[in-house]
Structure 1
Amino acid sequence: MGNTERSLSELAEYLDAELVGNADHRISGIADLQCASASELSFINQESYLQYLPQSTTGAVILNADFADKYAGNKLIVANTYLAYAKVSALFESLSELTVGIHPSAVVAASANVAPNAAIGANCVIGEHARIGSGARLYSGVSVGDRASVDDNTLVHPNVVIYHGVSLGKNCVIHSGTVIGSDGFGFAPSRDGWKKIHQLGAVVVGDNVEIGSNCSIDRGALGNTVIHDGVIIDNLVHIAHNVKIGKRSAIAGCVGIAGSANIGENCTVAGAVAINGHISIADNSHFHGGTIVTKGNTEAGVFASTPPMQDVKKWRRNSVRYTQLDDMASRIKQLEKQLKTLLPSNTEEK
């Protein structure tokens, strides 16, 4: 929508918000409450931020009805503050627009099908029989392999590599440095060393998917790796061959998902989680950061496996005790046996 000024009345209509204050006041951007200027918009999502209101010079604040009486200045009152912030952020997007058409330095195969209103940036390479949909935007240095497709209104940031046969859905966003469709880690041992298993599947990405920077998503060995509609993936995530990720699931940074794992719908996977291969995760499962998921689950829930942070001296003592648990369990069993021999078998409860 571009980086242009908006009046508070326009913002209120756009957000379906109740406006209290000067309807004609102009807003040119969004900033933190602590540093926002009179031409910028802020929001309050948590009570702890109310302390910054008295000193704030912001032009207006997005807040909910519970906090509305805490601020006397211009305000937009909404039911869901964070969602309103997400919506209004689109109005002030600062990404430079690509010119519709194919840049002179791009290399496009004669058999490729590029929509007339797509935008292909400098030094892009588009392979044989590839398809680029209506309104798609490929920034500089994007490589699209043979028979791959980028569907309508999908945005691909600079230096993304989309291998042969990969399919990206509509309205997706792929960030820089990500590789989609590289070979899965498939090798067969032999007397002469590892024998490569050629990966014959592809990657299928649904609609409205966002994938962060420097991710690696492997193609399937036989079938496809599949990322369903509405999935969001953070930076530095590795998704191995034949993984399936269900609709609207969210994967945070530095997650590793091993081959043929099946992640359900509406799951959240926090940072640095490791998920074993060939397991299934139920819909609506949620994993805390650093969890090591060695087996699947059939019911929704919240899961964690790593201990919380503690003082290093306490951690050292507990680490030693952890190594003693097996011995301690054996000793407890021995004590229980000895206790049974000492107690009369017909002891009555008092």
Structure 2
Amino acid sequence: MGNDVPGPRELSRSVTLGELAARFGCELDGATDTVVKRVATLSGADADAVSFLANPHFRSQLADTRAAAVILEEQHRADCPVASLVSTNPYAAYARIAAFLHPPCDIEPAVHATATIAADAIVAESARVGPNVVIGPASVVGDRAMIGAGSVIGANVSIAADSRLLARVTVLDGVTVGARCLIHPGVVIGSDGFGFAEDEDAWVKVPQLGGVTIGDDVEIGANTTIDRGTIENTVIEDGVKLDNLVQIAHNVRVGAHTVMAAMSGAAGSTKIGRRCKVGGGVVMINHLEICDDVMFTFRSVVTKSVRTPGVYGGSLPADEAQRWRRNAARFRQLDALAERVRAIEKIGRHTESIKKTTQDQNND
């Protein structure tokens, strides 16, 4: 039997700057044998910490830092008063170094006495199941997986190796979660999609018969919801990162390595491509096709499919529907209208010039 699941991180590694440079492809300017054991901010670091400079906003803090070393770009090396780990992408280098210095706690295999596990469920011996967890029939929890306190796993669910479900995660029937996923508290995966057929003055519920497939290396933020498909599965591909309070509706597909910030959402059957970046509060209506490598800026309202990579943004306030559509169509024509106005103004200026020249000649 086990106790509560341990915290997600522990300080367990001390390493030299030379080893960090070699392991993470940085150029070290400083002593190779200096030992560090944690990461810290520029202003909060001391002699056992590594810090980083990725945002120019914090450049003023560099001169006074007491860190053992700072991860930074070549252009800031000369301004660094301590050792430097030079990288072309300091923030990514910092992320990898921080994960190395502060690894997740090892999973201590255990099943808490208050957990309820169906007789035909399979829980790997190396897995950890926390207090008050419920695991339904025919479900599988893989090697070194962790199911946090109060979580509910439905029937025919598969949780692959090394995935971690923190407290109060709900994974309903027929959901598959890939390897090395991290699912934060309050997440609900596999709830019914919002499917109703209108019949005169009533609504008839459409059975939601699909499931949800979550790929490998996915992270899902607190209180995010992912609905099951109506017939086929809702799909979250490998490497997707969803922030807190994201809504993924039924039959949505989110392409590999796409990120979605808080309060964003995709309505039913929308397909989002790979490596997309969705800002906070972005709304996508149903049945859209979003190609790979698209970025939507904060609070954009997406009402049409996007088939060309690039950065998109913009929203209009609510209005009477027909007028809103008419104005939205006109808004999309503004570029062409502006070009026409410029052309007319150019003709006007040319005409005025001719008239002035003619007048001058007549005066002579």
Equivalent residue for 1:108?
117
Aligned positions of 1:81-160 closer than 5 A? 81-93=90-102, 96-160=105-169
One-letter amino acid of the structure 2 residue matched with residue 235 of structure 1: N
Answer yes or no: is the 8 Å Cα contact 2:63–2:79 preserved in 1: no
| CA deviation map 1:284-324 (0-9, x unaligned) | 111111110011122222111138xxxxxxxxxxxxxx99x
Corresponding residue to 2:186 among 177, 188, 191: 177
Partner amino acid for 1:116? E
Which residue does 2:49 correspond to in 1?
40
Give the alignment partner of residue 302 of structure 1, picking from 304, 308, 311.
Answer: 311
Q: Is the 8 A contact 1:140 1:157 kept in 2?
A: yes
Question: How far has the Cα of 1:48 moved from its partner?
Answer: 4.0
Corresponding residue of 1:315: none
Q: Is the 8 A contact 1:2 1:91 kept in 2?
A: no
Give runs of aligned pairs for residues 168-207 of structure 1, distance below 5 A.
Answer: 168-191=177-200, 193-207=202-216
Q: 1:98·1:121 contact (CA, 8 Å) conserved in 2?
A: no
Once residues 151 and 159 of structure 1 are traced to their aligned partners in structure 2, the CA distance between those partners, rounded to angstroms, is 18
Does the Cα contact within 8 Å between 1:206 and 1:227 map onto a contact in 2?
yes
Whether the 8 Å CA contact 2:63–2:81 is kept in 1: the answer is: no
Q: Distance in 1 between matches of 2:304 and 2:68?
A: 51
Q: Which residue of 2 aligns with 1:30?
A: 39
Compute the displacement of 1:243 (Å).
Answer: 0.5
Q: Distance in 1 between matches of 2:133 and 2:163?
A: 15
Corresponding position of 2:85? 76
* CA–CA distance in structure 2, aligned partners of residues 164 and 117 of structure 1: 23
1: CA distance, partners of 2:63 / 2:50: 15
Greater share of residues in helix? 2
Deviation (angstroms), 1:192:
6.4
The percent identity for this pair of structures is: 37
Counterpart secondary structure, 1:53:
helix
Normalised by the length of structure 2, the TM-score is 0.81
**3-state SS in 2 of match to 1:66:** helix
Of residues 170, 173, 176, the one that matches 1:167 is 176
**Count of paired positions:** 316
Structure 1 residue 84: deviation in Å? Answer: 0.7
Alignment of 1:3 with 2:11, yes or no, is yes
Alignment partner, residue 215 of structure 1: 224
- Asked if the contact 1:127/1:144 (under 8 Å) is kept, the reply is yes
Q: What 5-or-longer segments of structure 1 have no aligned partner? A: 308-321, 337-348
Report the counterpart of residue 312 of structure 1 in structure 2.
none
Provide Cα deviations, 1:18-72, integer angstroms capped at 9, x if missing partner.
2232333332321111222222211011344332122222221111222212113
TM-score by length of 1: 0.84
Which residue in 1 is equivalent to 2:249? 240
Asked whether the 8 Å contact 1:98–1:139 carries over to 2, the reply is no
Q: Deviations over 1:128-150 (max 9, x none)?
A: 00011112111212211100110
In the other structure, the counterpart of 1:262 is 271
How far, CA to CA, are the matches of 2:26 and 2:290 in structure 1?
Answer: 39
Task: In structure 2, list runs of 5 or more residues that go unmatched.
Answer: 1-8, 317-326, 342-353, 356-364
- Secondary structure at the residue paired with 2:203? strand
| Deviation of 1:113 (Å) | 1.2
